[in-house]
Amino acid sequence: MKIFSYLIFLKLALALVTARAAAVKDSANSDHTEGNIARMASKLLERSHYSQRQLDDEVSGKFFDRYFEILDGQHLHFLQSDIAEFEPYRTKLDEMTEVAGDTKPAHLIFARMFERVQQRVVYVNELLKAEKFEFTGNDRYTPNRKDLPRPKTLEEARQLWRQHLRFEFLQEKLSAPEIHTAKLKDGKPIFIQKNGTNKGVDTITSNVTNSAPLTQKEALIKKITKRYANLERTLKELSDDDVFEIYMTALARVYDPHSDYMGRSQFENFNISMKLSLIGIGALLESDDGYCKIKELMAGPAMKSKKIQPGDRIVAVAQGDKEAVDVVDMKLNKVVELIRGEKGTEVRLTIWPGDAVDPSVRKVVTLIRDVIKLEDQEAKAKVIEIPNKKETVRLGIIDLPSFYADMDPAKEKERKSTTADVAKLLKKLNQEKVSGIILDLRRNGGGLLEEAVNLTGLFITNGPVVLVKDHEGEISTMSDLDSSIAYKGPLIILTSHFSASASEILAGALQDYGRALIVGDASTFGKGTVQRVLYLNTYMDQNKLPYTYEPGALKPTTAKFYRAGGSSTQLRGVIPDLKLPTVLDYAEVGEASMENPLPWDVVSSAVLQKWNLVKPHLPELQKRSDRRLQNDKEYAYIREDIELFKKTLADKSLLLNEQARQKEKKEIEARDETRKKERKARKIPEPKIFEVTLKNAGEPGLQPFVPKTNDLATAKSEHPADDPDDESALEEKVPVIDAALEESKRILLDYISLLPETDHALSKVE
């Protein structure tokens, strides 16, 4: 009977899909706007993109493959026979798109994708009713299937869908809160849950009704059923415009990962769609294989929490104390709507950390929405007093989250900018007689190129900072023309894999000049390209291509950055002088992990007046740092995490055995608890810290630093536990240790001791 009902549904679904395919074919032919947009956008890609690649059969083949990958990157839906059926398009998409303006393949291929998804949803719903979900065997599943073959037949696909469902169910079961107490209130059950990802934090569930509570299995089935309904509904709600936008984006992404096409729906909401901006928490999002992924952090609640980083995936969103909404396979703009809200309201994000060793690990981060104010993006500084042998040494730390400037022409003489703000902070740090400065760019994803050039000028006399090569091969030089120097002392630039674009220009220039010591992750992000927004209506009007609705915009990569020394920042980023170990060195982070990145190359070096402040001291600095890291407890933990992460990467499949996975999970939790207790017991000297802001930089003396956080997870519980050893209380007392910053301070102290006094004044060596 089940098989019969399944076949009936498939026939109905197939009829609906066939009807949709026929409708979109007629729609694509009835209005020439879509075809004209395709013709114009493809021609502009050829003419304007840095690579100057012609839309030929080779690009056509990559376009064909990229569209399938965007629609089904995990190779779960399309059958090999589907690809074979559409294979004749492989060498025809170039002419169909650029010459004929024929976009039918976009809609026909998507219709087949929708058909397969419907088949999967029906099959999964049958399994959710019949499957026992027992995990006692030794079967394994590979979650990341992007490099694995697609299923050959529908039967093979069904086997794959079943294994994926079992994987999902076990992941949810392992990360689900454990119900450990039941109480009664006004005759209604209240269940207290101990959340496995925030151990010790007791929360009252929303299940306060007269109905019987769901068992864990029933709750998980309900959650996963909703998830698959979301997947089907998301695809069903995509309009022809949305499908066309995905299709043309696939073409743009053949050229490089930062080129895009924005359709009319995105174009109408340009500020949000261009940056995927989440107003209220300060995060930029992207959709990645069904997950809402953190692409970048701006100054705001998410960054302040220090519990979220790029690469993390949001799997659920809750408003205040309400039940969390699963957002896996949910359309990105709907996730945005859930996260956005009024200032001062609470949102809880369930995060799957990007660097998690165990893929079932989840953490809940509670944030208070806020307006992303300009002052949140401003440069800030601290003065830290560190006892060093017989004297106390003052160090300055400048945190720079972005490169910004007020672009209002009316304020040109007194406009606000990164350079002006940092100059003000440097003046204060000089007055307070700091012996050295750390410029922290770890969370700086870039910004205005002009500001990166001007900021570099605060630390050198003058000279070239960055070379820009356009798509015609012309190279222009952007230089610092001001011979004055705002700070002449020892300088460390602290970088990470998330330091990108303008940050890489600054770090690369100061490294090429031998002016600053670069410390951080194995490399920066590696984005050395420039994009330009081309409004299609202008070009379509010029070429007399009619359109009946807003054609949107193309954002091609039009130029590349090169360091003053001639090396591109593209792909390789900036390699630090002193590398600090991190798990992220082994994660898929940065330009090199993206599809179709432009290559690294070099151009002729600009003429530099170098200061040899770093190279002579590197061997000794490396030796001292290595010795410390071998004995440093935090870096011992980091090395342990790296080995576990590498082991996970080596074995791409996961064992679907609950007992074994629970054992692994408990081992990880026990390890984390041991670390917390060790940190709590460790005697960590607390240096004096003073806060320097743009508001108080002009005032005499220094203001004590007052820590600020937007995260509520460490706030005192309204229902404190009776147990004095309760883990939530322990959480509050555990010091937060920034291992990279702490080691950078020690490196700076070494650097200061090694530099002769004459070098502190930027004495030129060559």
**176 near 196, Cβ under 8 Å?**
yes
Q: Is 615 among the residues known to form the active site?
A: no
Sequence-separated (6 or more) residues with CB below 8 Å from residue 7? none
Choose between 497 and 322: higher pLDDT.
Answer: 497
Choose between 311 and 494: higher pLDDT.
Answer: 494
pLDDT band at 70 (very low <50, low <70, confident <90, very high): very high
Is 251 in a helix, a strand, or coil? Answer: helix
Q: Is 512 among the residues known to form the active site?
A: yes
Q: Give me the residue label for tokens 């798509």.
A: 471
**Which regions of 450-549 does DSSP assign to beta strands (E)?**
463-470, 475-480, 491-495, 517-520, 529-531, 534-535
Task: List, edge to edge, every strand of the sheet that includes 475-480.
Answer: 475-480, 463-470, 557-563, 529-531
Q: Which of 105-114, 299-308, 579-588, 644-653 has the lowest mean pLDDT?
A: 299-308
- Render pLDDT for 291-337 as a digit per residue (tens, 0 to 9): 788 877 766 787 777 788 887 888 888 887 788 888 887 777 778 77
Q: Give residue 675's identity as a one-letter amino acid code.
A: R
Instruction: Give the pLDDT mean for 629-647.
Output: 95
Instruction: Give the pLDDT mean for 506-522.
Output: 97
Q: Which of 82, 202, 480, 512 is catalytic?
A: 512
**305 near 281, Cβ under 8 Å?**
no
For residue 273, pLDDT over 50 is answered with no
Query: What pLDDT score was predicted for residue 41?
Result: 97
Q: Give me the residue label for tokens 């020439």.
A: 32
The closest alpha carbon to 491, from 530, 433, 440, 422, belongs to 440
Query: What pLDDT score was predicted for residue 741?
Result: 97
Q: Which of 48, 273, 287, 501 is catalytic?
A: 501
Q: Which of 5-19, 161-175, 223-237, 601-615 has the lowest mean pLDDT?
A: 5-19
Choose between 409 and 325: higher pLDDT.
Answer: 325
Task: List, edge to edge, every strand of the sheet that includes 553-555.
Answer: 260-262, 553-555, 534-535
Choose between 324 and 171: higher pLDDT.
Answer: 171
CA distance linking residue 388 with residue 391, whole number of Å: 5
Instruction: Give the pLDDT mean for 79-105.
Output: 97
**445 near 503, Cβ under 8 Å?**
yes
Q: Which of 304, 363, 469, 527 is catalytic?
A: 527
Query: What pLDDT score was predicted for residue 178?
Result: 53
- Global pTM value: 0.81
Query: What pLDDT score was predicted for residue 374?
Result: 52
Choose between 183 and 257: higher pLDDT.
Answer: 257
Percent of the chain with pLDDT over 90: 61
Query: What pLDDT score was predicted for residue 129?
Result: 94
Q: Which of 41-45, 198-202, 699-703 has the lowest mean pLDDT?
A: 198-202
Instruction: Give the pLDDT mean for 74-83.
Output: 97
Instruction: Give the pLDDT mean for 160-164.
Output: 97
The closest alpha carbon to 354, from 278, 433, 405, 292, belongs to 292
- Render pLDDT for 415-429 as a digit per residue (tens, 0 to 9): 789 999 999 999 999
Q: Give me the residue label for tokens 């502190």.
A: 760
Give the burial class of 44: count Cβ atoms within 10 A of its Cβ; 0-12 exposed, 13-18 middle, 19 or more buried.
middle
For residues 674, 675, 680, 684, the Cα torsion angle rounded to the nearest 10 degrees is 140
Query: What pLDDT score was predicted for residue 627?
Result: 97
Query: What pLDDT score was predicted for residue 607?
Result: 78
Task: Report the interhelical angle of 104-130 vs 154-175 (nearest 10°).
Answer: 60
Mean pLDDT of the chain: 84
Q: Is 695 among the residues known to form the active site?
A: no
